[in-house]
Amino acid sequence: MAQFSSLEQMKNLNTTVQLSQANSLIDKYVKGVAINNTSGKQTEVLGIVDAVNLKNGVPYLVVGEQEIELSSVSTVISDFGSETVAMIEAIEASGAKIEEIEALLRKLLGEEDPDAGDGTDTGDGTDTGDGTDTGDGSEENIVE
């Protein structure tokens, strides 16, 4: 009887440790594999962990609409700020182009746009796209 009690305690301890590990991944960006219980189909899942579900003593990470078993997680990216999380979510949601990603990264890193003043829109509504934006809110028009 004592052996059974010891075994049960070890199982409970293991479940508690796994649940603690899973809970520590909430708000972290993870990569893992979700397995469809009906078809057995495996799907790669990337995203931010929203919650943890415990099913039959096994922790599952909720990532969007998918659930990933804790043991199926292959990568964890942690400790980045909310701006980075927002950027990742925006990119995933919109399927943004490389230029848009680069612009977001420049903004996040506080770098200036290297193309400013060459006809790119400065955001003040005065750029006509003829390459003469002065960057001061007034655009020069060149007549040839």
Residue 139 lies in a domain: no
Task: Give the Cα separation of 125 and 19 in Å (integer).
Answer: 52
Q: Which residues contact 123 (CB under 8 A, 6 or more apart)?
A: none
Task: Give the Cα separation of 31 and 63 in Å (integer).
Answer: 10
Question: Across the beta sheet with 73-77, what order do the strands follow?
Answer: 66-69, 58-63, 42-55, 29-35, 73-77
pTM of the predicted model as reported, rounded to 2 decimal places? 0.51
Q: Is 67 in the same domain as 21?
A: yes
Q: Which pLDDT score, from 0 to 100, does residue 144 have?
A: 45
Task: Give the Cα separation of 71 and 49 in Å (integer).
Answer: 14
**pLDDT tens by residue, 80-96:** 666 776 777 777 666 65
Residue 69 structure tokens: 């078993």
Residue 36 lies in a domain: yes
**Greater model confidence, 133 or 9:** 9
**Residue type for 89, please?**
E
pLDDT level of residue 98 (50, 70, 90 thresholds)? low
Q: Is 16 in the same domain as 35?
A: yes
Q: Is 55 in the same domain as 15?
A: yes
- The last residue of one of the domains, among 56, 77, 98, is 77
| Confidence check: pLDDT of 73 > 80 | yes
**pLDDT tens by residue, 15-51:** 788 888 888 899 888 889 998 888 989 998 888 899 9
Q: What angle do CA 110, 116, 118 make, to 5 degrees?
A: 165
* Residue 99 structural domain: 80-115
Helix boundaries (H) for the chain: 2-23, 82-94, 98-109
